[in-house]
Chain A
Amino acid sequence: MTVASDKPKVGLFVTCLVDLFRPVVGFAAVKLIEEAGCNVDVPMAQTCCGQPAYNSGDRHDARMIAENTIRAFEGFDYVVAPSGSCAGMLKKHYPALFKGDPRWEERAKAFSAKVHELVSFLADVRGMDRVTASGSGSVTYHDSCSGLRELGVKAQPRALLASMPGIELREMRDPDVCCGFGGTFCVKYPDVSNSIVETKTRAIVESGAGTLLAGDLGCLMNMAGKLKRQGAPVEARHVAEVLAGLTDGAPIGGKD
């Protein structure tokens, strides 16, 4: 049995990509949220945030998935996701999805108020200004679009990285320009997506950093996949892995 505590209860929205492709990001998130003085649990009734359906014009399925998510997290003080795009979906788009629905609109709004992107939660909600882990080497940080423009995540990850002895941040050119992932966009328009990600990997390599970091696994898989295809000597990791000091495993897309 669990002991009651006055620590805030955080529900981790693990995101489908983290769940399926890179669980270490989930464990890094748990570690960091605990370091920020909270209890974490992972409700098993969650799946995906519904963004693929929502952005493909399938409102009906997006709503069914959203109802499921809202129900799964109703007992928590906070809902935290290690992804700006999923957090943006939960926070900004769920209320829009249920607008005018007397049964769900208020629930969606109440849910939305509890949602935060992981790094923004640590820095803005919990006031964390340093992490316990240390690292080594040079990193460059890509601002994923939803986190940046929907949720204002920009300074927080950089500040926390700066608090880590041994980590050197080398800014790439245009860190806030899209990497070309865009969810289903990258498979619907592969050639255009490729042109955008080529511009991005050029900027990453030119930065001279050994590791690429970002807050969204989708963008990271896109950029890492391209860097690997190009044979570029840059590793890619989710920023949470570095902040939590969980970097023993292989980087995204494997070691060389």
Chain B
Amino acid sequence: MQITSPSFKQNARHALDDVQLQKALGNVRAGFIDKRQKAVDALPEFDALRDSARDIKNHTLEHLDLYLEAYEQKVTAAGGHVHWAETAADARSIVLDLCRTRGARTVTKGKSMITEEIALNDFLDASGIVPVETDLGEYIIQLRGEHPSHIIAPAVHVNQDQVEADFRRVHTHLPADRDLTEPETLLDEARKVLRAKYFEADIGITGANFLVAETGSSIIVTNEGNGDLTQILPRIHVVIASIEKIVPTLNDAAQILRVLARSATGQDMSVYTTLSTGPRRPGDPDGPDEYHVILLDNGRSAMLGTEFQEMLRCIRCGACMNHCPVYHSIGGHAYGWVYPGPMGAVLTPALVGVEKGGHLPNASTFCGRCESVCPMRIPLPKMMRHWREKEFERGLNPATQRYGLKAWAFFARRPRLYALATSIAIPVLGAVGKAKGRFSWLPFAGGWTKHREMPAPETRTFRQQWSQREALKQGGRA
């Protein structure tokens, strides 16, 4: 997809002016936070589980090659195929090749951020293959020609009236006078339309929440069951997953599952947790004839051994964006690429480059709320700061910021000069602002005074007053 992260500021302005979006964002704030808190409060060992989840992933990342090879062996032994894709283009051409050689015309898809990352839908469309999103949110987004604005609630920015209008626009084979006023009726209509697609599809594509080295299984968690129908009904099931999705054992996956849904939606577990191991075996009642896994790198291995390695622990629960004041203000699209919110602010520069993604790690107040709720204890602010360091080293940030900071640092490093300069400047500023106690406008402070008053200083710095007080004391003792 087109990366618009460089115009983050304009995107944000646009989002702030979007009345519909602002209303929808209220739901993020109201919905996810309390639900997560309730689920966490009900499980005394939640924080211990977070530690354990972090440790499992850390261990896995230290031995990633070993576990990936073990996983591949198990998948092959179960009758499946593993394809290694270094880039997004590699992954796309593997999918296309599977479609072409199997004569596939329609592909159903379970919810998958990784297929967003490789822009699979547009590619399949352009290649004459019809991709059908089966997750309700993703289906709505697809009808609207949009991209997800949230990694677990892709259509969180869309409201009910808009969905009704979209369904009427697209489902023209249904009676025009039908009642679509309730969420249930909308859901029912989507279900009916999609039901037919499952049977038409030649290939079903899903992502993976986990890949298990011990058994060669892939695991998806869903709340609608669409993932199951996507992977069981077509002849061929293709899993696309990035390499960091691997965990050593089923036990490890089970551990992390205990923090995943609680962090994401406040559920103890998602409604469906589905394990797939290889194709249908003789005697199985259902399942695909072929089972393929595409393991995608696309920049992950370059993060290994760097200050960004910890980001590879991310399990895509969305808790960071659900708790982020910046995300609450502007929503996901403003971030300008696939991954929004704090996790996107770290991941996007890693995957598309800091030249394009540089705004995202800067557009954070470092309030730390994301880190405080991250089930994998990823130090998101710290990693955003590392991106700022990279940016600074390469001179990518705006000149005004650089010089302003350099000027401040110049004085901050020289206590005597700092004392002298401030003892001259502050009384002037204080005298000018004395009458009102604040400024509505100040030179060089437009970013501040555009929206707020600037409180005026007292007439002398603390150090001036303190020095005088101490001198009087000394004088009194003399």
Taking beta carbons and an 8 Å cutoff, which residues of A are in contact with B?
A: 1, 14, 16, 18-24, 26-27, 42, 44-48, 50, 52-59, 61, 64-65, 68, 72, 145-146, 149-150, 177-178, 180-197, 199, 221-222, 224-226, 228-229, 249-250, 252-255
Contact = CB atoms under 8 A, between A and B. Distances in A.
B12 A192 contact: yes
Contact of A229 (B393, B453, B461): B453
A250 to B, nearest CB: 5
Contact of A44 (B365, B371, B463): B463
A16 B422 CA distance: 10
A226 B461 contact: no
B438 A191 contact: no
Contacts of A56: 388, 392, 397, 401, 405
A186 B455 contact: no
Given A57-B388, A65-B413, A224-B455, A44 B447 contact: no
Contacts of A225: 438, 448, 452-455
Contacts of B268: none
Best-surrounded residue of B362, B365, B477 (most CB of chain A within 10 A): B365
Interface stretch (B65-73, B183-191, B297-305, B324-332): B324-332
User: Can you list the 4 inter-chain pairs with the closest CB atoms, starting with the nearest?
Assistant: A254-B437, A182-B365, A187-B447, A57-B392
Nearest to B362: A188
Nearest to B368: A149
Best-surrounded residue of A24, A189, A221, A224 (most CB of chain B within 10 A): A189
B333 to A, nearest CB: 14
Contact of B452 (A42, A72, A150, A197): A197
Contacts of B433: 254
A14 B363 CA distance: 28
A45 B413 CA distance: 10
B431 to A, nearest CB: 14
B388 A55 contact: yes
Contact of A177 (B16, B369, B412, B418): B369
B369 A65 contact: no
A139 B329 CA distance: 27
Contact of A191 (B16, B368, B371, B463): B16
Contacts of A52: 405, 408-409
A188 B445 CA distance: 11
B369 A178 contact: yes
B462 A57 contact: no
Contacts of B414: 47
A42 B463 contact: yes
A44 B364 CA distance: 33
Given A149-B372, A253-B455, A57 B397 contact: yes
Contact of A55 (B371, B385, B391, B437): B385
Interface of B is mostly: helix
Interface in B423-444: 426, 433, 436-438, 440
A195 B16 contact: yes
Interface of B: 9, 12-13, 16, 325-326, 328-330, 362-369, 371-372, 385, 387-393, 397, 401, 405-406, 408-409, 411-415, 418-419, 422, 426, 433, 436-438, 440, 445, 447-448, 450-458, 460-463, 465-467, 477
A222 B16 CA distance: 19
Given A14-B463, A145-B369, A194 B451 contact: yes
Contact of B325 (A44, A178, A226, A252): A178
A255 B437 contact: yes
A192 B330 contact: yes
A53 to B, nearest CB: 5
A63 to B, nearest CB: 10
Nearest to A30: B466
A249 B390 CA distance: 45
Contact of A252 (B326, B390, B455): B455
Contacts of A181: 365
B465 A58 contact: no
Contact of B458 (A22, A185, A187, A199): A22
A187 B9 CA distance: 12
Given A27-B462, A225-B455, A228-B455, 15 more contacts: A21-B457, A44-B463, A52-B405, A53-B412, A56-B397, A61-B405, A177-B325, A178-B365, A184-B405, A188-B401, A192-B326, A221-B455, A229-B452, A253-B453, A254-B455
A176 to B, nearest CB: 8
Given A47-B411, A58-B409, A23 B392 contact: no
A250 B434 CA distance: 10
Contacts of A48: 408, 412
Given A21-B458, A47-B411, A253 B463 contact: no
B372 to A, nearest CB: 6
A231 B372 CA distance: 34
Contact of A190 (B364, B412, B415, B451): B451
A129 B430 CA distance: 36
Contacts of B462: 14, 18-20, 23, 26-27, 42
Contacts of B466: 23, 26, 42
A197 B363 contact: no
B385 A21 contact: no
Contacts of A45: 415
